[in-house]
Amino acid sequence: MKDETEMGAEPQIHYHAEAVAPAVQWLEGELALPQSFTLESGATLSDAKLAWACVGPADAPVIVVLGGISAHRRPVARDGRGWWESQCGAGKALDTNRYRIVGIDWLGGCDASTGPKSSDLEDFPAISTADQARAVLLLLNRLGLRRVHLVVGASYGGNVAQQLAALLGERLRHLVLLSAAHKAAQFGLALRHVQRAILDLGSDSTEALALARSLAVLGYRTAEGVEQRFGSEATRDAHADGVLGWIDHHGKKFVRRFDADAYRCLGRSLDAHDIDPAAVRVATTLFAVREDLTVPLSLLREYQTRAGAACELVEISSDYGHDAFLKEEAIVGALFERCVQV
């Protein structure tokens, strides 16, 4: 018997569809929190909302990204003005072609989530890192995000990330903490106390807020780093182009977005942060900078010793100090690339 080809039948042709990358979705919204959202202090927030953003393909693994007190819900943005564009986005370490990146605006902050400026309360209540984490958990549940591939928290966001990891438990695969410990450091407490005193003496003026923020920025860096950047150009006009101009720029830039009450609220939240590392029973990677004044290495080593699950401590040296998680882009990017695959 002749086969089909010999009988003149048309040969079979197999078509292979070219793989197409899933479409990236850019989603934003506001989650209405329970009518009376009870805070850790016992106070309640009524009609509160949590503003959020989610970028990435539908059904891709979820990465929650939380930054410092000046961060917001867009670590990556369509216009390129996200606060962590060096790490988040198409082809970056936290790749929005492969993962869904979820971010929030802080409760008690200056953006679209409920805060002192948007509330009718005369005295806005204290917001704890645990309060922030419970709000994020409500968001994840509302969005139907049962499993979380990674929670990344830097600075204040790392404090919130610890609380969130404790709540998520087995729902979370891995936690990454950058320059964030289980409690506030004494140097940081003192620095923020002086910042709030500046606000009080300046009657919450924009000038006082700019000065308070300038002091904070100095605490985030190191003396050696500032010297290397500005000290070698002795002929430079120090105020216009040198260190004084630099520090003034950071203060003036900050007041265009922040207000004094939000700065107080989030600073006090950072001061009050306290969690037993043993309560975080999730595999964790810690990132520590030896020169960090506000989150000293000793606290990260203590965290590792007391952690409730496998905990790796990655130590680096950087003249950027606390800001190394933003400035040491290659090192941090390599860390993320490893953690997403662990």
* Residues tagged active-site: 155, 292, 322
Say whether 95 sits in a helix, a strand or coil. Answer: strand
Say whether 174 sits in a helix, a strand or coil. Answer: strand
For Cα atoms 136, 139, 144, give the angle at the middle one, nearest 5 degrees.
130
Q: How many residues does the chain have?
A: 342
What's the rounded Cα separation, in Å, for the pair 329 and 86?
7
E strand or H helix at 253, and its extent? helix 243-255
What's the rounded Cα separation, in Å, for the pair 156 and 271?
10
What phi, psi does 83 have (nearest 5°)?
-80, -15
Radius of gyration (C-alpha) of the chain in whole angstroms: 23
What's the rounded Cα separation, in Å, for the pair 280 and 298?
19
